Amino acid sequence: MEEKCLRDKIGEFLCEFAREDKRIYVIDSDLAKSTKTIEFQKEFPERFVETGIAEASAMSIATGLAAEGQIPFYVNFAIFVAGTAWTQLRQAAYANANIKMIGTYAGMDNGKDGASHHANEDIAIVRSIPNVKILDPSNVKEMKEALKIAIDYDGPVYIRVARDKVPDVQFEQNSKIGKAKLIKSEGNDFALIYEGTAAGIAYKGFEALREKGYKGKLINVFSIKPIDEELIENMANKVKAVVTIENHSVIGGLGGAVAEILAKESKHAPLEFVGVEDVFTESGSADEVKSKYGLNINNIIMKTENAMKKSLPISVVPKRNFIQKLKAFFK
């Protein structure tokens, strides 16, 4: 399975769209080489703003450009876009400013820089802000679609982009705000629900479960906010286990969003979370850090089997009417 780095496509795709739309600007905070927006800087120097290490100012500049009718993209490491400039982001969202943000090196992708640079909370803190849409592409096609969606949408959009390579699996479905994608449907033993930057380990986990004789479903959540409640509800009522997989903390991210949906349902399959537990991570290669802190095949298998053990067949779950009749009989 061919793998590609979505981060490497940021500059290329922004340049492509900017040739057709002169409203597109890029704001950088001293990381143009790392985020690949240096390509945009070379082709459109008059529409490239370099702030240096001044993330709050960069977000404010983006908001000002939006107020003047431009379409600014603030591109930086996810921890700096969502974390360092959070107050300015919140104020921009309060005004429903037409700003676009790309947070790359998401989750533990920035392995060797350590916990200070790992964005394991970005989904949670951005998801809590009203008006902001969150897109999480898992392949090159989705990456380009996410940028086009952000350009066409009037309001703040946060795009979470992997630094590590992800499987460049092609889907027939086009990406839309508020829609997830059912990638594989082989049975009803389990449903693995993943976000874009965790695509690689999600595919491997699915294959490992298949090798153990289980048949399940694989769901790609391109749009984290708004999330596809209908698809998730339907899947949770069909399978024996639901497991979320994310390159992020298990608190407040994709798993939290899915739990919020299922909490409103009277019955659903047991839910387990694969991701970073309530801890800070550490420095190391991205693969080693991810594996140590939960993103590994064994953890996916264990969480899935644990959930399946908790599951009761729908036929043996007591019905409300039956319980009421039973109570009446013994009165």
Indicate if the alpha-carbon torsion angle 298, 300, 306, 312 is positive or negative.
Answer: negative
Is residue 329 situated within a structural domain? no
Residue 153, in any domain of the structure? yes
Kindly compute the dihedral angle of the four CA atoms of residues 272, 262, 194, 222, in this order, to the nearest 10 degrees. -170
Phi-psi label, residue 107: left if phi above 0, alpha if psi -120 to 50, beta otherwise: left
Q: Which residue has the higher pLDDT, 111 or 268?
A: 268
Q: Does any domain span residue 104?
A: yes
Contact assessment for residue 23 and residue 71, using Cβ atoms and an 8 Å cutoff: yes
Residue 265 has what pLDDT? 86
Question: Do 110 and 231 reside in the same domain of the chain?
Answer: no
Element (H, E) at 14: helix 10-20
pLDDT for 212-248, tens place per residue? 999 999 999 999 999 999 999 999 999 999 999 999 9
Q: Report pLDDT for 316.
A: 43
Looking at the predicted structure, is the pLDDT value of residue 326 above 70? no
Whether 198 and 261 map to the same domain: the answer is yes
Please indicate, yes or no, whether residues 205 and 153 belong to a single structural domain of this protein.
no
Dist. CA 221–CA 227, nearest whole Å: 8
Residue at 66 is within a domain: yes
Task: Assess whether 207 and 235 both reside in one domain.
Answer: yes
* Averaged pLDDT, 95-106: 97
Return the structure tokens found at 306.
């644990």
Q: Which of 103, 132, 167 is the last residue of a domain?
A: 167
* Domain shared by 205 and 152, yes or no: no
Q: Look at residue 165 in the predicted model and tell me its pLDDT.
A: 87
Check residue 302 and give left, alpha or beta (phi > 0: left; psi -120 to 50: alpha).
Answer: alpha
Q: CATH number of the domain that 197 lies in?
A: 3.40.50.920
pTM as predicted: 0.91
Q: What are the pLDDT digits (tens) for 247-277?
A: 999 999 999 999 999 999 888 999 999 999 9
CA atoms within 13 A on the CB side of 112: 2
Look up residue 75 and give its two tokens: 């591109």
Distance CA 163, CA 218 (A): 22
| Structural tokens at position 216 | 């399940």
pLDDT one-digit tens code per residue, 285-300 = 999 999 999 999 999 9
d(CA 14, CA 2): 23
The structure tokens 């392949």 sit at 139
Strands across the sheet with 181-185, in order?
181-185, 216-221, 190-195, 242-249, 271-276
Same domain as 194, residue 143: no
The angle formed by the CA atoms of residues 228, 169 and 212, to the nearest 5 degrees, is 85
Residue 105 predicted with pLDDT over 70: yes
Q: What residues does 192 pair with on adjacent strands?
A: 218, 243
Kindly give the interhelix angle for 254-262 and 229-236, rounded to the nearest 10 degrees.
70
Classify residue 14: in a domain, yes or no: yes
If asked whether residues 160 and 190 sit together in one domain, one would say no
Q: What integer pLDDT is reported at residue 330 of this predicted model?
A: 61
pLDDT in tens, 162-202: 999 888 888 788 999 999 999 999 999 999 999 999 999 99
One domain, residues 19 and 162:
yes
The answer to whether residue 323 is domain-embedded is: no
Question: Mean pLDDT of all residues in the chain?
Answer: 93
Mean pLDDT of 122-140: 97
Q: Which residue, of 135, 167, 199, is where some domain finishes?
A: 167
Instruction: Please give the DSSP secondary-structure letter assigned to residue 319.
Output: P
Q: Give, as one character, the DSSP assignment of residue 138.
A: -
Q: Number of C-alpha atoms within 13 angstroms, CB side, residue 22? A: 1
Task: Check residue 318 and give its pLDDT.
Answer: 47
Please give the radius of gyration of the chain, using alpha carbons only, rounded to the nearest integer. Answer: 21
Q: Are residues 124 and 252 in the same domain?
A: no
pLDDT tens digits, 38-81:
999 999 999 999 999 999 999 999 999 999 999 999 999 999 99
Judge whether 145 lies within some domain. yes
Task: Sort strands 216-221 and 190-195 into parallel, antiparallel or unpaired.
Answer: parallel
Q: Are 252 and 124 in contact (CB under 8 A)?
A: yes
Position 267 scores a pLDDT of 86
Tokens representing 321 are 């009417």
Tell me which residue has tokens 């809590």: 128
Q: Are residues 110 and 250 in the same domain?
A: no
What CATH number is given to the structural domain containing 67? Answer: 3.40.50.970
Asked if 199 and 135 sit in the same domain, the reply is no
Q: Does residue 281 surpass a pLDDT of 90? A: yes
What is the predicted pLDDT for the residue at 168? 85
Is 190 contained in some domain?
yes
Residue where one domain finishes, among candidates 137, 167, 197: 167
Q: Residue 248 belongs to what domain range? A: 181-312
pLDDT of amino acid 3: 86
Question: What's residue 313's pLDDT?
Answer: 59
- Residue 303 in this model has a pLDDT that exceeds 70: yes
**In this structure, are 161 and 222 located in the same domain?**
no
If we measure between CA atoms, which residue out of 171, 195, 175, 214 comes closest to residue 303? 214
**pLDDT bucket at 328, cuts 50 / 70 / 90:** low
What is the tally of structural domains in the chain? 2
